[in-house]
A and B are shown apart, each in its own frame.
Chain A
Amino acid sequence: MTVVGTPIKRREDEALLRGRGSFVDNLTLPGTAYMAVVRSPYPAARIVSVNLDAARAAEGVIAAFSGADLADEWAGPLPCAWLVTEDTKNPPHYPVAIDVARYQGDPVAVVVAESRALAKDAAELVEVEYEPLPAVADVEQALSDGAPLVHEELGTNECYVWKLETDGIQAAIDAADVVVTRRYRQPRLIPNAIEPRGVLAQVGPTGDVTLWSATQTPHIQRFVLQLVLGIPEAKIRVIAPDVGGGFGSKIQVYGEGPLAIVLARRLGRPVKWTEERSENYLGTIHGRDVVHEVTFAATKEGKITAVRSEAWCAMGAYLELVTPGIPLLGAWLYSGPYEIPNYSVTFTGVFTNTTPTDAYRGAGRPEATYVLERTMDALARELGMDPVELRRKNLIREFPHTMASGLTIDSGDYHASLDRLLEVLDLDAVRAEQAARRERGDVKQLGVGFSTYNEMCGLAPSRILGAIRYAVGGWDSATVRFQPLGSVQVVVGTSPHGQGHETTFAQIVADRLGVGVDEVEVLHGDTAISQLGMDTYGSRSLAVGGIALWQATEKVIAKARAIVAHQLEVSEDDLEFADGTFRVKGSPDRSMDIKAAAFAAHAAHNLPDGMEPGLEETATYDPANFSWPGGAHAAVVEVDTETGDTRLVRYVAVDDVGRAINPMIVDGQVHGGLAQGIAAALYEEGVYDAEGNLLTTTMATYLVPSAAELPSFETDRTETAADNPLGVKGVGETGTIASAPAVVNAVVDALSHLGVTDVPLPATPERVWNAIQEVRS
């Protein structure tokens, strides 16, 4: 029975539904001490003195340290793995600030006590004398003359300038019939995984380290911990138990992990730290915060001839693990699914006195897709064309397609997705209803917005990563191991936090080996079990890790085939393998099943000469290309023209994510992605005031949408096979990448008859109302 392609229920659910999740904060070791972090209330301040006397004297306090006290513990600063140019500025960043705090929330001291509450009590007794410094929070202001410098020693707030340009871009723009230039500001987004971060560190008597961490990246953590602590990776074990969502914000190696290890080593006790939500808003990375200026050039018939984008991207106060590289993940997507022959993209990284930015769902690709799809609508208005027709005219038709920017899209059928979208949407009916409301002069106007998109994920081909200066590779690994009695253990290098890898990966292996899906156990998230891996982010787990798993499975079959051929005294070529059984071609009664081969491999009584016992194989897979999902989305919104209140009434998504191993899980990934993109369009914005104070530090002020703000989604799929053995593409980020522009295009469309051409992000009632007033006055 084949299980690939079927919506089998998740094996992950049972424990989580019964309240038996192993989230880090649920774990406690005998003798655990609790850490609380004291953070700077100032966006920029010199640390004059740190007085820990009162904290140290408080009930239950074991120890308290300032940044200076711990300065000798660090073998190196918290590293950035992606310095995108030779001269990218990377100022040192330590787990606890020593002389200067550079953003609100920068750690300045740490307290360890017998309980969480006592640690927090004592943290309030730490007296830090600050000398406030001028601060800057806005990317454009940070580049202006005389702006306060985030890192004075650098002499500038400019972190880097990175450019990708084809020859003749200016000539193409000059020669165009129509040129449209638009400016967009995409605000900060705060990831808000519902489980805040947390770590539990234990140091053994020989200096061996175990770190339980709410992380997406146990393998990367281990690597970076050696750099920061000087402890050999071989002595470090990182465990990512159940992890309550990440969305990119649990990729980074934050200071609290190494800090807990250092304290556990000094105190001889396990040390635990659990982030609070208000702390999460300040201390965990943010996403976006980019200003774009985009120019499209086109013929009067609507053929786009050039795209030029210039972007100013906030880094925050320090570079986190891949901060400077986030814009680059979108660098090849400013032409999206369209055939555009001339191309220019420039990014300027900018330091500001704010929480560092890094990967948030989509990472660089939502930014690119937003400005591209908004500008498509602007160009359509300029040309007097229907936005769907403009898209259709420019969509890539043939695959593989090499873009002007240099990368090759392996597969897709963007027209098929768009056709299917229009069918599900019933565009004519929506337009008719819109026209009727306009005719009647209804207070509540209807708008429909589109986004045809593609994206580049499945991070990533190691050679390309090397060429764009990423520090390590993008392969992944998997091990498939038959136990002697025929059950199968699978060990993967990816590290799920809600994506259902255990279920999906078991489906793949069960089908190929011809064993029951329940006979396959999937292990992950512990570097002592999974030695090789590059973890989970960038929609890579199936598109990269899944292929490694496929290859390991093939290697197991190959070895089993050799064993069976030896025992049946036939040549390997004479054997067919299907449904878990090797059969001799032409003599189907001569057969041996793979479980019998597994037992024979372990018994080792009769193996081919020189063959090692056991039936276990490991494979690594380094993709030759990125993964290129795509599709067509539409949003229908209702806008109250008197109050500006906007409700999303329909959302239709047609995606091509290649072959769906588990369609139920694929749909779930799309739903969650959509919600985050829709939230960016209508609700979410991390706001700093001019002095660098974060104003949105709770879920009451930062509007993570609830069920009441969202509709049910209409999802469908078209399918083209990716160029890999499973035909799969990434899916984790598609919804977030595609949805924000569709929604804002719909808001603008609802008001277009009034003359509105833009509404800033997020399209809150106030902004929508203001946009209406501007055109009315």
Chain B
Amino acid sequence: MERARARQPRKVVAQSHELEAHPQAVRVTVWLCATRPDSVWKLSPPRDTLGLALRGEEGALRHVALTVNGVRHELELEPRELLAYVLRERLGLTGTNIGCDTSSCGACTVLVNGESVKSCTMLGVQADGLEITTIEGLARDGELHPVQQAFHEHHALQCGYCTPGMVLAAVSLIEAGAATDEQAIRLGLEGNLCRCTGYHNIVKAVAAAAGVS
């Protein structure tokens, strides 16, 4: 009971008053919900959080067309394949790191039609017709994106494993206009875990990139 109680405030924040104060958090929440309607689970019932354990006739390949970092891909996917694994294993985009199997850590965050999504909460088949940006696609003409540059300037990464997801979550937060002050940044990034930095320099970097003090 105690564990559940302790975790709860964070989730409540993300789903109640933060809905209005932090539109970015809403989008993440909506996407989380959108990946788990009944229609999806009919394709792949939730026996396993990774969606890996199920085979059989539901597993027939499906044709999916998606655009990743500006390149159109046509893929034959098993319905159970998570977007995170499609990016890593089918497309070789290993910048999208996987850090957990419960959609908790946010390391695999990508942009889907410009909004941040944990790519382990979405099936590859759901990306049909959508535009995905991964960390590999964020720099322009070889120049780091301002958020990437700010992470470098402010020493906002150490081991770098959470960094791609953290950067993309921050990009989305800033573009949504939700990185308005330190507290908003902290709440807006609560879905992305870092074990190295204590978040201090991440928050500084995001504030600098967002132009807030």
Residues of A within 8 A of B (CB): 7, 9-10, 12-21, 23, 25-26, 59, 115-117, 120-121, 124, 192-196, 242-245, 247, 276-278, 497-500, 645, 664-665, 667-668, 671-676, 683, 687, 695-696, 698-701, 703-704, 706-710, 712-713, 735, 764-767
* B122 interface residue per 8 A CB criterion: no
CB <8 Å contact, A710 and B161? no
CB <8 Å contact, A499 and B158? yes
* B75 interface residue per 8 A CB criterion: no
CB <8 Å contact, B182 and A695? no
SS class, residues of chain A in contact with chain B: loop
Contact A687:B95 (CB < 8 A) given known A13-B160, A276-B50, A698-B100:
no
* B209 interface residue per 8 A CB criterion: no
Nearest-CB residue, chain B, relative to A361: B195
CB <8 Å contact, A21 and B195? no
Known: A17-B148, A712-B203; 5 extra A-B contacts, CB below 8 A, are A117-B80, A194-B99, A244-B159, A498-B158, A499-B158
CB <8 Å contact, B158 and A707? no
Convert B25-67 into 0s and 1s, putting 1 for each residue whose CB lies closer than 8 angstroms to a CB of A: 0000000000000000000000001101101000000000000
**Complex contacts, B200 vs chain A, CB 8 Å:** 671, 710, 712-713
Q: What are the 5 closest A-B residue pairs judged by CB atoms, nearest first?
A: A19-B95, A16-B160, A244-B161, A498-B159, A675-B198
Least Cβ distance of A48 to chain B in Å? 24
CB <8 Å contact, B190 and A13? no
B135 partner, pick from A19, A245, A767, beta carbons under 8 A: A19
Least Cβ distance of B11 to chain A in Å? 9
CB <8 Å contact, B53 and A13? no
Complex-state Cα separation, A17 to B6, whole angstroms: 33
CB <8 Å contact, B144 and A698? no
* B3 interface residue per 8 A CB criterion: yes
CB <8 Å contact, A17 and B193? no
Convert B80-106 into 0s and 1s, putting 1 for each residue whose CB lies closer than 8 angstroms to a CB of A: 110001001100011111111110110
Complex-state Cα separation, A765 to B4, whole angstroms: 11
Least Cβ distance of B116 to chain A in Å? 15
**Complex contacts, A23 vs chain B, CB 8 Å:** 94, 97, 161
**Complex contacts, A20 vs chain B, CB 8 Å:** 95, 136
B189 partner, pick from A683, A707, A713, beta carbons under 8 A: A707
* B191 interface residue per 8 A CB criterion: yes
Least Cβ distance of B4 to chain A in Å? 8
**Complex contacts, A764 vs chain B, CB 8 Å:** 2, 5-6
B52 partner, pick from A16, A120, A671, A704, beta carbons under 8 A: A120
Complex-state Cα separation, A15 to B157, whole angstroms: 12
**Complex contacts, B134 vs chain A, CB 8 Å:** 19
Nearest-CB residue, chain B, relative to A497: B159
CB <8 Å contact, B153 and A699? no
Complex-state Cα separation, A16 to B194, whole angstroms: 14
Nearest-CB residue, chain A, relative to B153: A9
Least Cβ distance of B33 to chain A in Å? 16
Convert B195-212 into 0s and 1s, putting 1 for each residue whose CB lies closer than 8 angstroms to a CB of A: 111111111100000000
A276 partner, pick from B101, B197, B198, beta carbons under 8 A: B101
CB <8 Å contact, B163 and A278? no
Contact A245:B159 (CB < 8 A) given known A699-B105, A704-B193, A706-B10:
yes
B55 partner, pick from A121, A247, A703, A707, beta carbons under 8 A: A121
**Complex contacts, B99 vs chain A, CB 8 Å:** 194-196, 244, 277
**Complex contacts, A703 vs chain B, CB 8 Å:** 3, 6-7
CB <8 Å contact, A707 and B152? no
Least Cβ distance of A495 to chain B in Å? 12
**Complex contacts, B163 vs chain A, CB 8 Å:** 16-17
Complex-state Cα separation, A195 to B164, whole angstroms: 13
Across the A-B interface, how many residue pairs have beta carbons closer than 8 Å? 221
B161 partner, pick from A194, A277, A665, A672, beta carbons under 8 A: A194
Residues 160 to 177 of chain B near chain A (Cβ within 8 Å): 160-164, 167
Contact A668:B158 (CB < 8 A) given known A18-B95, A19-B134, A25-B98:
yes
Least Cβ distance of B206 to chain A in Å? 9
* B112 interface residue per 8 A CB criterion: no
**Complex contacts, A121 vs chain B, CB 8 Å:** 52-53, 55
Among B52, B97, B148, B200, find the residue whose CB has the most chain A CB atoms closer than 10 A. B200
CB <8 Å contact, A194 and B203? no
Least Cβ distance of A675 to chain B in Å? 3
CB <8 Å contact, A708 and B186? yes
Complex-state Cα separation, A195 to B108, whole angstroms: 11
Least Cβ distance of B101 to chain A in Å? 5
**Complex contacts, A14 vs chain B, CB 8 Å:** 152
Contact A194:B94 (CB < 8 A) given known A18-B135, A499-B158:
no
11 contacting pairs across A/B (C-beta < 8 A): A10-B155, A17-B163, A25-B94, A192-B195, A194-B196, A195-B99, A245-B196, A277-B102, A698-B101, A707-B186, A710-B198
CB <8 Å contact, A668 and B201? yes
CB <8 Å contact, A194 and B193? yes
CB <8 Å contact, B97 and A672? no
**Complex contacts, B10 vs chain A, CB 8 Å:** 706, 708-709
Least Cβ distance of A710 to chain B in Å? 6
* B13 interface residue per 8 A CB criterion: yes
CB <8 Å contact, B190 and A708? yes
CB <8 Å contact, A245 and B195? yes
A19 partner, pick from B49, B93, B102, B105, beta carbons under 8 A: B93
Least Cβ distance of A85 to chain B in Å? 34
**Complex contacts, B195 vs chain A, CB 8 Å:** 192-194, 245, 247, 672, 675-676, 704
**Complex contacts, A709 vs chain B, CB 8 Å:** 10
Complex-state Cα separation, A675 to B100, whole angstroms: 20
CB <8 Å contact, A766 and B2? yes
CB <8 Å contact, B197 and A671? yes
**Complex contacts, B13 vs chain A, CB 8 Å:** 708
Least Cβ distance of A663 to chain B in Å? 10
CB <8 Å contact, A672 and B158? yes
Least Cβ distance of A502 to chain B in Å? 12
CB <8 Å contact, B101 and A277? yes
Among A16, A124, A243, find the residue whose CB has the most chain B CB atoms closer than 10 A. A16
CB <8 Å contact, B198 and A713? yes
**Complex contacts, A9 vs chain B, CB 8 Å:** 152-153, 155
Nearest-CB residue, chain A, relative to B99: A194
CB <8 Å contact, B203 and A707? yes
**Complex contacts, B49 vs chain A, CB 8 Å:** 278
Nearest-CB residue, chain B, relative to A683: B6
